[in-house]
Structure 1
């Protein structure tokens, strides 16, 4: 199993996405199932309560038995990837990866897995200069488009304003929205966006991304912290403040998870130090319920 830093060292998003998903897709939920579809699959005996319109009357006349025609039904989804590219995603972990580096790898791997399942994949990169949006498609050229958009994304500024985000929530297209974000916000703007996306599109899977060094607070001695979005600084002794920091952070994480679930989001926390397969499995688990 390749670590995130090994995947990042490939400097090749298509290859990294494929390597991250290797071995994961075996036994994954198939994109087609039997039911009332278009492509004929097989017959099965009639059971009380079945739709009589699916009875094969010609076969019944020949055999004096009642059979239903079953077909393969496409169960593909529209998967909408939303990547937070605000300045806080430039935070760098001890393994050398920024949150944006990890987010790029994760979105690329999610797009690869979704496309292998026959899903149409969309991508939105959020930054204050405007939305970078690729609408959902399932054609062969979509993955290269997504990889290029991810590879060239840069984190900067604060979260986009409501007017910039309006086109996203105006589209009422059923989809599974997957948001990758560290959830650093000023006044609940990310929560509001995801609430509107859930109302407009359906299910939301929130992948809350943290750096391992901020979760474990691995800093030592006198440290100056800078807010990457506002430029404000804070000086403290990391050894003295570690316990208080971790208590405060754990309370914030509990509150964040509770609010997300209250809004009906599927919430999953991960760090930049863990393999991508954990989040990919969560996506496949959520997809199997769709």
Structure 2
């Protein structure tokens, strides 16, 4: 389903359910599908695993300590993190970045709910992490309601974000939805601070095509959505410099996030959300 059609529904709960159902229909080869799915496969032994689960016959052939996971195993703690800085209000072809991210996270929450996974919701705004929905009973409905009401404004800048909420070493999956545009290295520093071997981090960097390709002509008044500062420029005069700067930034970001268990998924506002989610699930390594 097209993103513009989902937004026209003006119903986050329905939009999330429709996307999750589309994702489920597109997943094959698993007895149990969703973000909490553990496909029947092998993974490397980790501290805390029962040694009895190691496949010793396979070890004799490969010299690797591998643990078999069943298709019905799902014990994930899932955290959703939504960027609520002002730049999330960016709008392109009637599609708001914030609304796109809301539907994206709501759809993932539906998939997690179907697997009975533990879920919680956090937001990043004005340099702070806020726990809006802690893990617990009825967290799914509370996540949908809270996402519906969320509004973006102001900056998000924290040069050394060390949030106690993310210091646990438990096995979990974190989904972050943001434009991942930074003034310094605040986003990169955040990921480096929260990354650990038992935590999978999936970052959805949601951008507009015009933000990347700068397909504009003529005079424009550009407004910073976080500081509200404005400047008038002729698009043709700055296009080459802007595109070069954007490409360099995106490349540097990719290189900086070559961190174990961290996946950066770049998305444009015209991409179908179900396809984005399906591709992200395929990239999961555990």
Question: For this structure pair, what is the TM-score category when the shorter chain's length is used for normalisation?
Answer: 0.7 to 0.9
Cα distance between partner residues in 2 of 1:33 and 1:240: 52
**Structure 1 residue 198, shift from structure 2 partner:** 1.5
Confirm whether residue 149 of structure 1 aligns to residue 146 of structure 2.
Answer: yes
1:127 touches 1:159 (CA, 8 Å); kept in 2? yes
Confirm whether residue 110 of structure 1 aligns to residue 122 of structure 2.
Answer: no
**1:123 aligned partner:** 121
Cα 1:150–1:160 shift into 2, 3 Å: farther
**1:18 aligned partner:** 17
**Structure 1 residue 160, shift from structure 2 partner:** 5.8
Cα distance between partner residues in 2 of 1:203 and 1:32: 13
CA offset digits 1:54-105 (Å, max 9, x no partner)? xxxxxxxxxxxxxxxx988623422211111101111111x21221111111
**1:133 aligned partner:** 132
Please show how residues 1-290 of structure 1 align to structure 2 within 5 Å.
2-26=1-25, 27=28, 29=30, 30=32, 31=37, 49=57, 74-93=73-92, 95-128=93-126, 131-137=130-136, 139=137, 141-159=138-156, 161=158, 166-199=163-196, 202-262=199-259, 265-287=262-284, 289-290=285-286
1:181 touches 1:208 (CA, 8 Å); kept in 2? yes
Give the match's secondary structure for 1:158: coil
Cα distance between partner residues in 1 of 2:241 and 2:159: 35
**Structure 1 residue 34, shift from structure 2 partner:** 7.4
Cα 1:48–1:256 shift into 2, 3 Å: closer
Q: What is the TM-score of this pair, normalised by structure 1? A: 0.77
What are the ranges of 5 or more consecutive residues in structure 2 without an aligned counterpart? 42-54, 59-68
1:80 touches 1:121 (CA, 8 Å); kept in 2? yes
Aligned-residue CA RMSD (Å): 2.9
Cα 1:133–1:160 shift into 2, 3 Å: farther
**Structure 1 residue 157, shift from structure 2 partner:** 1.1
Give the match's secondary structure for 1:252: helix
Cα distance between partner residues in 2 of 1:97 and 1:72: 37
**Structure 1 residue 268, shift from structure 2 partner:** 1.0
How many residues get paired? 255
Q: What is the TM-score of this pair, normalised by structure 2? A: 0.78
1:83 touches 1:124 (CA, 8 Å); kept in 2? yes
Greater C-alpha Rg: 1
Give the match's secondary structure for 1:261: coil
